Amino acid sequence: MTDAPSRGTNPWADIVGTIYTADAFLRELRLTPAEVDEAARDLHILQLETADGHHVYPTFQVVNGHLIPGLSEVLDTLQRGIDDPWTWAQWLCTYVDGALGSHRARRRHIDALVAGDVAAVARAARAAADSWAS
């Protein structure tokens, strides 16, 4: 893995997009390894584990050096339906047609969060979690 955001040959790269390695993520957010571990455990960040045991972090959760608001609430909600960060990443990157907030354009759940539509994404996350749990 490289130190900068990267995109691998794994098919998940087409779904999740670019990722940070652990070192690059630490530098981007100016956090210590212990702070990242705590943030991942508390679902303040989305941490994915690769098949070979490395932790990577989708770049979509960081805008201008900060975590996007509402991400923690959405991750916590999604975990209630299924405890699988890769599924959460896929859900966040899923395009929906006019179902989020006042915007009727087709966009991803993560884009709605970036735009500040936390309540709409949280509602959609609850519906997804309920579906996964049933």
3-state SS, residue 51: coil
Give residue 88's pLDDT: 97
* Among 70, 89, 82, 76, CA closest to 43: 76
Beta bridge partners of 34: none
Single pTM value for the model: 0.85
In order along its 134 residues, the chain shows pLDDT tens digits of 444 444 445 677 788 999 999 999 999 999 999 999 999 999 999 999 998 999 999 999 999 999 999 999 999 999 999 999 999 999 999 888 765 555 556 789 999 999 999 999 999 999 999 999 99
Residues 28, 20: Cα–Cα separation, whole Å: 9
